[in-house]
Each structure stands twice: as C-alpha cells, then as structure tokens.
Amino acid sequence: MPEPDSKKRALALFELNGRPPFRVALPIALQHVIAMIVGCVTPAIIIAGVAHLSPADSVILIQASLIAAAIGTALQLFPIGPRSGIHLGAGLPVIFGVSFAYVPSMQAITEEFGIAAIFGAQVVGGLVAILVGLCIRRIRHFFPPLVAGTVVFTVGLSLYPIAINYMAGGIGQPTYGQWQNWVVALFTLGVVTFFTHFGKGSLKLASILVGMGSGYILSLVLGMVDFTNVANAGYFEVPRIMHFGIEFDVSAIVAIAILFVINSIQAIGDFSATTSGAMNRLPETQELHGALLGLGATNILGAFFGFLPTSTYGQNVGIVTTTRVINRHVLGMAAFIILIAGLFPKFSALLTTIPYAVLGGATVSVFASIAMTGIKLALSEGTSPRNTAIIGLAVAMGMGLSAAPATLALFPAWVTTIFGKAPVVAASLIAITLNLLIPKEIK
C-alpha cells in the first residue's frame, strides 16, 4: 500500500524523531535557512568593519559565523552524552546562530581592545552559561519577563545607530552620506516592509532576504558593488584555529559574561516557546540543563575557531510553532545546508559585497522588531507604576550613559568600557537590582 506509507512518512514531519521524505523535508529546511542566514552573518560583517579586518579576514569571520550556527544547531538537535546524566544539547527542534544581543558590546570591545578580546571574553561567557545551566532552578527567578524584556528592548534601541549609519553608507566610508546610499537603503526598507505586511507564504517569511536582494540589484545598477573579494576568495576552506587570537581583558569579560547570563535566560524562553507552541508541553529540567551546557560548550570551543557568540533564533522558533514541524532531521538538514555554505569562501566573500546601505535598510526593521519584542515581553506583566519605573530607569541609564560616555571620564577606563559603551550591561544590572529592591505591592 504505497499511498498510506507515503502519507505516514509525510506525517513524520510532526514527530521529533520521524524520517520524513527528502522532497517534503527540504522546503521546510530551506525555509529555516532563509529565515536565519541574514541575521547570522550581519553581526560578523558589522564587527569586521569595526575591526578594520582585511577582505580575506572578513570572509573568514563570516564563514566562522555560518559554521558556528551549524554546529550549535546540530548539537542542540542531537545531544552528546546520556540523557539521564550530564549531556550537551537539549534534543529539541531549535536553530542557533550568531546573536545580535552581543553586537553593541562586541563593538565597544573591538574598538577598545581589538577583536581577540571578544573571544577571550566569550570563553568565560561560555563557562558562565554552563554555570547558569547547572544552577538554573536557583537563579531563574532573578530574570522574570520584566527584566528579560527590558534587556531585549535595550538591545534593540542600542542597535538603531548602527542601522542608520549603515543606511548612510557606513562610518568612515568615502561615500558616507551620499544620496545613492539613502536611495538604496530606503528602497530596501520599502521592499522589506511591503513583503512583511502584504506578502504571502514564503515571500512574507523571506521578506528581509527579498528586500536585500532587491536593494543589491539596485546597487549593481548604481555601480556600488565590487566583486574583487569574490575573485580572490578560495573555493573551500575549513575553520582556522586561533586565527584571530584570544586575549583576556577584565572589562570585556564582565560585559560579555553578563550578556551570557541574560541570553541563557532568553534561550530558556525560546526553548519553552518551542515546546509549548509545537509540542504542547514545557521543556524538562534535563532538557534545559543540556541546552545551556551545549550553549556554553559551543561558545567556548567556538572562541578558538573565531566563532562569534551564538544563541537561539526567535524567528525560527516562530516557524516551528507556526508549522508545528518539530522533526529533528528536518532542522538537521537546515544545519547541514548552513555548514556547506560556511565551508565555501566564495559564498562568504559574495556576502561581503553587499553595500552597507543595503544592510542598513534591511536591518533597521530587524532591530525595530527586536526592540518591540522586548517591550511586549517587559509589559506582559502589566503597566503598573513599579514595572514602568523599572523599565524606564534601566533603559534611561543604559542608553544615557552610552550616549554620553564622557561623563565617566574620571572613573577607571574599565568603568567606561562596561557601562559607557555597552548600554545593555548597565540596563541589565539596574533592571535586576530594581526588580529585587522595589516591592511588587507598595502598601
């Protein structure tokens, strides 16, 4: 009976460990790749620009980001170690990628100490994530939606200047502020907005990719694209150990470690959204332990290979909960496609040809979405005077200090690095502290 068997195999899409047909699994796997790939490589492009990396090193950093996403995803899908004991990975349907949450802090660290300091801080951050995983029951109450949402909101706000400067052509670029950049950026933003709100199916899902493609074509017409990097790039290359080096700076470590704590809690939220939305249950404690141990281990190992910090991708959580396709082999196929893309420098080099104006026009809507997600999460506990005060003060101090770092000039340099250049750190600490100090009901 071939038809019933075919139908049964197709239904395996909705089983965690089923074996769906390739022709059925591939479109959904590609859907996941399309949803995450722009967000995964953009932080690498931003940091490469801040660090003034050579074209060859920029390609290596982008390659590393894709490979990091593939390895991080595979580990979460197919854990290492006994399920009943210590194991790495959750065994749940999630996609990992380089996280935007770290970008403002990585920018500040790169400007102050160089890119190697990011990887040193990431090693310690990975250890912190492991510690959070081992102690999750005891510390989870420190990060309710009010605190986590405030942090995410601050991340979104702190990313806006990056997008606007990119729309203008990128700070330090000879064409910064020219009309061509604004035309391309606004056109890209218009296409993204149109398909986000009026697109259907795959076009709606891939609105950012469609917008970037459209902006890229317009850039070609205006003569803004240079393919020299693609011509010079190799065809196949594996990650290089310690290519960017590793340096340990206390202020960089503090800034990144705090973000690893916050992102670990955020990851728990994404895992919970996945299981409750697509599997009708909450994640088990062992799954969360494995998830955070895997997150930490991936980032520690990744630091030695030039992988920037990774975390769960919310847009892919949305795909899983919408389609209810929880099959690990489907998402594993997506991870394999991402890995293949990362192993070919020509592909990564092609991504470096995307003009800053295109990136700015596409990412400004992403950053806006991050900020709005954060404020919705923060306000999910209500708009009481207590809650609005915590959100307002945390964001005001975080953003205010980063906008006026000179106010900290008389303090030690590490104070400026932690609090004056990374608004997320100050906002996180203030939100956590106020949430503990201000009583929930003032009598």
- The per-residue pLDDT for 77 is 92
- Structural domain includes residue 443: no
- Structural domain includes residue 433: yes
Q: Which residue has the tokens 């502290």?
A: 433
Q: What is the mean pLDDT of residues 177-197?
A: 90
- The per-residue pLDDT for 336 is 93
- Structural domain includes residue 16: yes
DSSP labels, 40-63: HHHHHHHHHHHTT--HHHHHHHHH
> In the numeric block, which tokens belong to residue 191?
């296409």
- Structural domain includes residue 352: yes
Most confident range (mean pLDDT) of 46-60, 112-126, 197-211 is 112-126
Q: What is the mean pLDDT of residues 140-164?
A: 80
> In the numeric block, which tokens belong to residue 435?
């949430």
- The per-residue pLDDT for 1 is 42
Helix, strand and coil percent figures for the chain, each rounded to 5: 75, 0, 25
Contact 362, 208 (CB under 8 A): yes
Query: Is pLDDT above 90 for 218?
Result: yes
DSSP labels, 64-76: HHHHHHHHHHHHH
The whole domain housing 429 covers 2-437
pTM for the full predicted model: 0.74
Exposure pattern of 128-164 as b/e (b: 16+ CB <10 Å)? bbbbbbeebeeeeeebbbbbbbbbbbbbbbbbbebbe
**Where residue 10 falls among pLDDT bands split at 50, 70, 90?**
low
Return the SS3 of 170. coil
**Whole-number average pLDDT of the chain:** 83
Least confident segment among 40-54, 86-100, 348-362, 427-441: 348-362
Q: What is the mean pLDDT of residues 350-372?
A: 80
Query: Is pLDDT above 90 for 71?
Result: yes
Query: Is pLDDT above 50 for 182?
Result: yes
Strands (E), 300-415: 310-312
For residue 165, the surrounding DSSP H or E stretch is helix 145-167
- Structural domain includes residue 413: yes
- Structural domain includes residue 442: no
**Where residue 441 falls among pLDDT bands split at 50, 70, 90?**
low
Domain count of the chain?
1
Q: What is the mean pLDDT of residues 112-119?
A: 92
Q: What is the dihedral of CA 291, 295, 298, 300, to 10 degrees?
A: -140
- The per-residue pLDDT for 217 is 92
Query: Is pLDDT above 60 for 2?
Result: no
Q: Strand 310-312 and strand 96-98: pairing? A: antiparallel
Selected residue with higher pLDDT from 441 and 42: 42
Burial (CB count within 10 angstroms: exposed 0-12, middle 13-18, buried 19+), residue 408:
middle
> In the numeric block, which tokens belong to residue 15?
């089983």
Query: Is pLDDT above 90 for 165?
Result: no
Show contacts of 84-90: CB within 8 Å, 24+ apart.
84/286, 86/289, 86/293, 87/286, 87/290, 87/293, 88/290, 88/293, 88/294, 88/297, 89/290, 89/291, 89/293, 89/294, 90/271, 90/283, 90/287, 90/288, 90/290, 90/291, 90/294
- The per-residue pLDDT for 414 is 73
Q: What is the mean pLDDT of residues 42-71?
A: 90
> In the numeric block, which tokens belong to residue 95?
């996609």
Least confident segment among 4-13, 66-75, 104-113, 409-418: 4-13
- The per-residue pLDDT for 442 is 54
The rounded distance, in Å, linking the Cα atoms of 280 and 273 is 10
